[in-house]
């Protein structure tokens, strides 16, 4: 089920069993916390402001339209219903907001009557995902939930058979999508989508981030690939014969933490919560991004200043960000880009207002930076978006 995951995780549901005050085994808790920056920690971190949310590469929009194209649907009309300008497809560096991407998913699901949007020959009837969630909240452990969920989906999907495997030594668990039809771009993207949504659902069930050891995808890499790696927080290997999620088998013993009340909220927010909810906010790059968000209208700190705040040497900060597949300048650029795109959705804000809010002293400097980030000037980007603007599908 595919890519982008952000706000803080739900607390354990009252009345549900949890392990030693945490939803993760001790070994996983230690590894999960290792990338945190204590100096930026707060007792209860607020969710990021809407305009600071990560945006989504236009390549992911193009991929989600593979099924509608295959079946001859009017692509421009579908995009406009989701509030996305069809002209953005011609800009390889264009981005859309999470709200627009979620609206497109809802539009495709409603128009095509298929939860996998025409990617496979046999539609997945709307309601299967909700049915799976209702079944899984009654499972005792994550292993029980995975086996029950995959068993249900094997009844509804012919193109691949999802199964849970545990290694002979009992250390590694793998959700494997065994292909049952010839390879195609549509099947590969359906597998990537299934893997992504499955991971988000499993994380929700245990109310915690499940560290992954490796992700194998049959899909070819795209320009949106780095975003996929940031979501999974592990190496993603493309062009593989089989799509697989690998993780520590100790996670299988985690208790299911959700109940009927939390399920109602979860389904009400779907699909948007699947896109953003389970990004690992404890990693260093995300902590820095959230800190910078509150200082955008000032001069942002240099790498050396940020390292000093974190009580790290600049070399250590560079290395730790590099280990996460990131860099300090890329964090600043992507934050400014995402906030700019969010602000340009507001008709009352001029481009000069946006530039000033992002800390640019001269509009011309903002214009050059925005064109570097997206491939088009901000005025043209806004006009393309306005040409596609309609009321998003509820």
One DSSP character per residue, 13-74 reads PTTS--BTTBSS-HHHHHHHHTT--GGG--SSPPPPPGGGS--EEHHHHHHHTHHHHHTT--
Helix (H, G, I), strand (E, B) or coil at 255: strand
CA 278/CA 2 separation, integer angstroms: 13
Of 373, 372, 346, 312, which is closest to residue 57 (Cα–Cα)? 373
User: Quick one: pLDDT at residue 109?
Assistant: 95
Residue length of the chain: 394
| pLDDT > 50? residue 33 | no
User: Quick one: pLDDT at residue 13?
Assistant: 43
CA 335/CA 327 separation, integer angstroms: 12
> Which residue did the predictor score with more confidence, 59 or 49?
59
User: Quick one: pLDDT at residue 23?
Assistant: 36
CA atoms within 13 A on the CB side of 64: 29
Output the average pLDDT for the chain. Answer: 82
User: Quick one: pLDDT at residue 24?
Assistant: 38
What mean pLDDT is predicted for residues 306-316? 93
Give 298: exposed, middle or buried? Use CB within 10 Å, 0-12, 13-18, 19+. Answer: exposed
User: Quick one: pLDDT at residue 116?
Assistant: 97
User: Quick one: pLDDT at residue 299?
Assistant: 82
Span 102-126, pLDDT tens digits: 999 999 999 999 999 999 999 999 9
Categorize the per-residue pLDDT at 31 as very low, low, confident or very high, splitting at 50, 70 and 90: very low
What mean pLDDT is predicted for residues 17-29? 35
> Which residue did the predictor score with more confidence, 188 or 34?
188
| The residue to which tokens 């481009």 are assigned | 351
| The residue to which tokens 């990131």 are assigned | 326
What mean pLDDT is predicted for residues 138-142? 98
Categorize the per-residue pLDDT at 273 as very low, low, confident or very high, splitting at 50, 70 and 90: confident
CA 359/CA 377 separation, integer angstroms: 18
User: Quick one: pLDDT at residue 35?
Assistant: 41
What mean pLDDT is predicted for residues 264-273? 89
State how far the alpha carbon of 369 is from the alpha carbons of 60, 99, 118, 199, in Å.
23, 24, 38, 35
| The residue to which tokens 């975003």 are assigned | 227
At 391, give phi and psi (nearest 5°): -70, 120
Catalogue the E-assigned strands of 167-254.
Answer: 172-179, 212-216, 236-237, 243-248
Span 199-255, pLDDT tens digits: 999 999 999 889 999 999 999 987 555 677 778 888 899 999 999 999 999 999 999
């Amino acid at each position: 089920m595919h890519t982008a995951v952000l706000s803080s995780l739900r607390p354990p549901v009252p009345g549900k069993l949890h392990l030693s005050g945490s939803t993760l085994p001790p070994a996983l808790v230690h590894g999960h916390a290792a990338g945190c920056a204590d100096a930026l920690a707060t007792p209860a971190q607020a969710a990021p402001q809407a305009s600071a949310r990560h945006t989504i590469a236009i390549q992911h929009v193009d991929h989600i339209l593979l099924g509608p194209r295959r079946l001859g649907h009017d692509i421009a009309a579908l995009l406009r219903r989701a509030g996305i300008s069809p002209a953005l497809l011609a800009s390889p560096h264009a981005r859309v907001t999470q709200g627009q991407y979620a609206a497109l998913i809802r539009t495709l699901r409603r128009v095509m009557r298929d939860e996998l949007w025409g990617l496979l020959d046999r539609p997945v009837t709307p309601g299967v995902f909700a049915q799976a969630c209702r079944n899984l909240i009654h499972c005792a452990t994550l292993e029980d939930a995975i086996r029950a969920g995959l068993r249900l989906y094997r009844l509804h999907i012919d193109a691949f058979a999802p199964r849970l495997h545990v290694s002979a030594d009992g250390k590694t668990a793998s959700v494997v999508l065994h292909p049952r039809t010839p390879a195609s771009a549509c099947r590969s993207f359906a597998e990537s989508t299934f893997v992504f949504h499955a991971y988000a659902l499993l994380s929700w069930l245990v109310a915690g981030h499940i560290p992954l050891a490796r992700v194998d995808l049959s899909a070819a890499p795209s320009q949106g690939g780095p975003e996929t790696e940031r979501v999974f927080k592990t190496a993603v290997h493309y062009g593989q014969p089989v799509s697989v999620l690998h993780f520590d088998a100790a996670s299988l013993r985690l208790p299911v933490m959700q109940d009927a009340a939390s399920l109602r909220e979860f389904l009400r927010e779907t699909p948007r919560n699947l896109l953003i909810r389970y990004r690992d906010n404890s990693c260093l790059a995300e902590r820095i991004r959230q800190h910078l968000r509150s200082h955008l209208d000032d001069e942002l700190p240099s790498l050396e200043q940020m390292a000093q705040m974190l009580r790290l040497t600049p070399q250590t900060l560079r290395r730790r960000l590099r280990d996460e597949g990131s860099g300090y300048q890329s964090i600043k650029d992507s934050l400014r880009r995402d906030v700019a795109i969010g602000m340009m959705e507001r008709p009352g804000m001029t481009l000069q207002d946006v530039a000033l809010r992002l800390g640019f002293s001269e509009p011309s400097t903002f214009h050059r930076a925005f064109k570097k980030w997206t491939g088009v000037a901000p005025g043209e980007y806004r006009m393309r978006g306005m040409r596609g603007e309609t009321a998003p599908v509820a």
